[in-house]
Amino acid sequence: MIEEDSETQRQRRLIAAQRVVIKVGTSIINRAEGGVCAERIEPLVRSIAELKRAGRQVVLVSSGAVGLGAARLGLHPSRLHDVVVRQACAAVGQSLLMHSYEQLFREHDVRIAQVLLTEDDFVDWQRYTNLRRTMEKLLKLDVLPIINENDTVSTAELEYASGQERVFGDNDRLAALVMSRLESDALVLLTNVDGLLRHNPRRMERGVSDDEQPVLIPLVTDLTDELKALATGPSAGGRGGMLTKLEAAQIATQAGGVAVIANGMKPGILDDIFAGKQIGTTFMSTSRMAGKRRWLTYAAGVRGRVIVNEGAREAIISGKASLLSSGVVRGEEQFEPQDVVSIADCEGREFARGIINCASAEATALIEGMSAAPATKQHSRVLVTRDNLVLSEQR
């Protein structure tokens, strides 16, 4: 049962949300036989136009380019396992996608802009800052930014890789990172399911029965491992799944906003969400992570690694200390000043990340110089200040 205070807060925050990011999944945009499904997209376009007329700022993150390109080129889905083929399809499909949006939004007198992003736009702090400036200007000009990953040059989403950490590997996470950078009030992830679902445990014990339906979880205030275990794999035709949506929701709540996962195929879904109705699954949190710490946690690219001794590890974790060169055993890989490095213990386990103040060569010289100098003459230097450091347990 939902506590009344939480339910009231959910309604209030969605009704009052002024800056929102809406992500539309491939399953909503594309017809099974190919092409844009205007019957599903037109109501969403109309609702977005209404949100803008009501004074809200809206950013749209849209999937669908690869599928549209494949259909136009007449390629069988099995061909899309090749990265270069998917890139070619993205190049063809992106123009088709934007042409459809241009036609649909023009009917509502909404001006649009295409914004194609790569991982580098998030990994590099300066480009991350520039991204916000551009988006802020578009919103100030009353333009609707339509965002997608630049699949023609970026392979982060297109590659079928496992075990390799990505800044974003799907448009759910991309939408959450954009929402975080813009410090938006709400993130809405529209998919082809009603939200986060839980099956009746008795159903699992005696086998699946067609007459038993999973139960929707309407509100999440603590995204536990148990809830993450409910997530399923990628949906047909798309790259994301419920797990990526939960990860996106976590980023959104850490940014101080609310997130909603809902069924974009239902008529009036956006109208209902922002009217405060109980639709889909809403995620809220009372905690908020500062902007640079969110970047370090979710978006920054790691360029190298430093191994520290047990004393430095304990001081960072328990004492909330900065990283001093006297606590570093060695540096690994090459890095430059202001790069993000992984901070690990002597067994190689990462426990923190931070922005380092010097290049790898200088760090090595400091470490070697101190190991050769008498203890009374060691002058330690701050390699990573505390305000530029985030613990792995917070990630």
Angle between helices 38-53 and 83-106 (to 10 degrees): 60
Of residues 187 and 170, more confidently modeled: 187
Query: Dihedral of CA 73/160/252/323: which sign?
Result: negative
Angle between helices 242-254 and 171-182 (to 10 degrees): 10
The residue written with tokens 């949100």 in the block is 51
Per-residue pLDDT of 56-114, as tens digits, reads 999 999 999 999 999 999 998 889 888 889 889 999 999 999 999 999 999 999 999 99
Q: Average pLDDT of 168-172?
A: 75
Closest C-alpha among 109, 126, 1, 141 to residue 45: 109
Question: Residue 384: pLDDT band by 50, 70, 90 thresholds?
Answer: very high
pTM of the model: 0.79
